[in-house]
Structure 1
């Protein structure tokens, strides 16, 4: 995984607690898309298991590939029945013939953009499914969004810009390897106190990449902002599931 390093392992417990899970519609969206019986599932960049919980609900054995040993340890403790491989996706060897479903929750952007689609394609059995899913954190109140954005901009710009909701689908389609590429959208409001929001921010990749001083400055600015907004905010949590199929018959 490109550029991820140890950003998340340093806060594995916070990540597990602060990151929101997925709505119950995600698993059925995958199940209704699949054309062949589900036999085996693998997950790329599984983290501490938020996406794993969805994939386990599909009823097949799950192998999780997670490059950070500290994240993998939390994942294994949460789901003892899951096979956890503590390695980057690029070094993982899929089972002969591939897996029925390859999932990736909030990690597709960490994979090498030049090779991720081809590696995923090669890991899936003919007729199998790729499911890339995740959240985008927006805000229910535009005034809150403007104030929180101003707080983020009060420290040096990290150069990271939000990706459009369709980016994973578009990236997979652009590779030209998969068929039936589509996007399922869902969303919900998620109220968060100041403390809850600050814990969530501590798990963001761009935040982890900042210097310790910049992190402290940003958290203080966000705390002042959210307290001024009444002690928290409500996220407009946008969840997308990009689905694609490897053509052919097993």
Structure 2
């Protein structure tokens, strides 16, 4: 089983290498009325603040929950305006109807949704929303580059069994997990495609933050960048799912 605290050991790389979420995603949240100045937000599995920062910049009051002490320290240093809590998302304690927006950005797959969703349902305001999104590293719909072909070879050569369950990138499986309880209904779904130019050092930093990549595999990925000339254009995608508490939605 992949260790969810893997990121704690590579906290500095995580802060430096994880790319921001695409501008279109933030614009969609704004269009939906979820980035209201003065509103309260809860960022679950906040890492080093890739979502916390833009939420604060939009004028929201943010509680950021991160279980890794090193990651949380970097998060607190980068975003001192946030209320940073070092605990699991499942263990956070907030008053009922205290939060307008709950966010899980590239983190929900690490959480026990059977425990988490009833808690989110309780702490959301009557008009609150749950927004879940993730970056997908490697756009399946983009043309296969030589670098991506080499990455596929590295993955295919693995002997360790894959992580159990559906892939974390699978939006349909994520939606099913978030709605099976009957507490939430999907109100909006959107996807975004984007690219990033990376050199060998940047690839090394980024791939070291991937929980299912060994040190040897990361070195192979770095070598795959050096072979075609030292830089690669990585094609990525992101998806966003917004959900509402189902009984409260019907009462609005």
TM-score range, shorter chain: 0.7 to 0.9
Unpaired stretches in structure 1, ≥5 consecutive residues: 208-214
Correspondence for 1:163 among 166, 169, 187: 169
Is the Cα contact below 8 Å between 2:46 and 2:105 reproduced in 1? yes
Is the Cα contact below 8 Å between 2:113 and 2:178 reproduced in 1? no
Number of the residue aligned with 1:185: 191
TM-score (norm 2): 0.85
**Farther off after superposition, 47-56 or 152-161:** 152-161
1:109 Cα shift?
A: 0.3
Question: Over residues 195-242 of structure 1, what are the superposed CA-to-partner deviations in whole Å (9 max), with x where a residue is unaligned?
Answer: 2112111001112xxxxxxx3321232233232233232221111111
Q: Distance in 2 between matches of 1:59 and 1:167?
A: 32
Unpaired stretches in structure 2, ≥5 consecutive residues: none
1:90 Cα shift?
A: 1.6
TM-score (norm 1): 0.86
Number of the residue aligned with 2:13: 14
Q: Distance in 2 between matches of 1:42 and 1:49?
A: 12
**Farther off after superposition, 181-190 or 162-171:** 162-171
Q: Distance in 2 between matches of 1:62 and 1:6?
A: 23
Q: Distance in 2 between matches of 1:32 and 1:88?
A: 30
Number of the residue aligned with 2:220: 221
**Farther off after superposition, 55-64 or 65-74:** 55-64
1:86 Cα shift?
A: 0.8
Is the Cα contact below 8 Å between 1:3 and 1:110 reproduced in 2? no
Number of the residue aligned with 2:149: 146
Match runs of 1:1-250 below 5 Å: 4-34=3-33, 39-138=39-138, 140-144=142-146, 145-160=148-163, 161=167, 163-207=169-213, 215-246=214-245, 247-248=248-249
Q: Distance in 2 between matches of 1:181 and 1:224?
A: 43
Q: Secondary structure at the match of 1:197?
A: helix
Q: Distance in 2 between matches of 1:158 and 1:223?
A: 23
Q: Distance in 2 between matches of 1:17 and 1:158?
A: 29
Sort the Cα spacing of 1:229 and 1:122 in 2 relative to 1 into closer, same or farther, 3 A.
farther
